[in-house]
Chains A and B, each alone.
Chain A
Amino acid sequence: MIALLRRDLALAFRAGGGFGLGLAFFLIVTVLVPFGVGPNSATLGLIAPGILWLGALLACLLSLDRVFALDWEDGSLDLLATAPLPLEGVAVSKALAHWITTGLPLVAISPLLGLFLSLPTGAMPWLILSLLIGTPALSWLGTFGAALTVGLKRGGLLMSLLVLPLYIPTLIFGAEVIKRGADGLATATPLAFLAGITLGTVALLPFATAAALRVNLR
């Protein structure tokens, strides 16, 4: 599992791996928003939590088709399936690699983008915390979607249709944490819900992912 994780990370970080594309996308979305709604900092601060979470969601989604597609094309997915490591383990390490290459960098640059969108400084820690807790759920759900559509020719659009509705609870609680943090309210409840969703998906979804992979490899 660790070897697989290191291999995926190496593939992502080296040239042509597409690492950083998600980050650049996140940046562009955030830069475009003020052009759309005007530079008024009060308005921007109001919608910043939602925009940042939506940006993270879409950036995550963009990189999902790489999770299994390349391995599927060159046949290494078949090798992984016949390896002694159970497919559930493969699913976990794939999702973890996806999170390290997209989710974690997003968390790291989110304060900068929050600054662009004039998010109140009091909300910054909550922004980082909510993204840190919430993005693993996005990666795990996305890996499930990628496993469902791995055998399809034009699976990208279909995958976003399948995955985005699954993101709704995470989005709701994630944005709620920041909003409450910005208003100085207690954030423990949405944070607990967010963490609950993440832990639940991390624990259970690899089984569904592996089941979908098995069907697609038949």
Chain B
Amino acid sequence: MSLWEYANPRRFMATSSWLLPPLVVLSALLIATGLVWGFFFTPDDFRQGSTVKIIYLHVPAALMAINAWLMMLVCSLIWIIRRHHVSALAARAAAPIGMVMTLIALFTGAIWGKPMWGTYWEWDPRLTSFLILFLFYIGYMALWEAIENPDAAADLTSVLCIVGSVFALLSRYAVLFWNQGLHQGATFSLDKEQNISNVFWYPAVISMAGFVCLFVTLVLYRTRMEIRRRRLHALDARSMAA
């Protein structure tokens, strides 16, 4: 099994159709476990009270918001370098999901921010860079929609994704320079001694794994949809020509 086999849409459709049902079940199970454990079976934080429980939605969504863009970048590179058609469609499929994850992270953050920081919105580096990421998602999707020729659209959006990645990263560190914020530092790092307590850590990790599975599932679904849409276009064109 190699990545290049799945440049053939037929192979991709066959594999993804048997991969999808277990993935759906797995992501539902993981998210349900993570959220139920997190919401009902963890103690309240000694300072934040029960508001801390929104972390089981906030952190996984934020994680996926960034990783969705990373996945789009990898897919764009694969498309540009090797003309892997399914890869281009997967990048297109991932964009709306990533955008929604960014929105979820921003909204849950706002809801969490009101009782804790006393404000829904603050021009904090992390918040600002997420807003910027959201803008990049919108631009990327708008470019896909605007161009009719699918191969040209895939090429141009890939170039935009690569340039955009550089500038999203630049903006991330530029806003750090511009304003110091309220947001706490990383508490889920793998390389630090002092982290969040294990009581909160286990359900959060399960929830994160659930969101990863959810993301993969949704991307597979949407990629299948894109492939079917391309086939439909091809059929249309053929019946027009006949």
Which A residues lie at the B interface, using CB under 8 A?
144, 148-149, 151-152, 155, 158, 161-162, 164-166, 168-169, 172-173, 176, 190, 193, 197, 205, 208, 211-212, 215-216, 218
Contact = CB atoms under 8 A, between A and B. Distances in A.
B136 interface: yes
A162 B132 CA distance: 12
A193 B135 contact: no
Interface in B36-85: none
A155 B159 CA distance: 17
In the A-B complex, list the 6 residue pairs whose CB atoms are closest, starting with the nearest. Answer: A169-B174, A215-B155, A169-B170, A165-B135, A172-B174, A162-B139
Chain B's interface size range is 20 to 34
B190 interface: no
B164 A165 contact: yes
A158 B159 contact: no
B18 interface: no
B162 interface: yes
B113 to A, nearest CB: 22
Q: Looking at B135, B152, B175, B178, which has the most chain A CB atoms within 10 Å of its CB?
A: B178
B225 interface: no
A165 B139 contact: yes
Nearest to B176: A172
Contact of A215 (B156, B162, B163, B170): B156
20 contacts: A149-B143, A151-B147, A151-B152, A152-B146, A158-B142, A158-B146, A162-B142, A166-B167, A168-B171, A168-B174, A169-B167, A172-B175, A176-B177, A193-B174, A208-B159, A211-B159, A212-B159, A215-B155, A215-B156, A218-B152
A197 B170 contact: yes
B152 A161 contact: no
Contacts of A215: 152, 155-156, 159
Interface of B: 132, 135-136, 138-139, 142-143, 146-147, 152, 155-156, 159-160, 162-164, 167-168, 170-171, 174-175, 177-178
Contacts of B162: 208
Contacts of B147: 151-152
Interface of B is mostly: helix
A173 B175 CA distance: 9
Contacts of A155: 146
Given A161-B138, A165-B139, A216-B156, 9 more contacts: A144-B163, A158-B146, A162-B160, A168-B174, A172-B171, A172-B175, A172-B177, A197-B170, A215-B156
Nearest to A154: B146
Most interface-central of A151, A152, A162, A216 (chain B CB within 10 A): A162
Contacts of B159: 148, 208, 211-212, 215
A168 B167 CA distance: 8
B106 to A, nearest CB: 16
A81 to B, nearest CB: 15
A211 B136 CA distance: 20
Contacts of A197: 170
Contacts of A148: 143, 156, 159-160
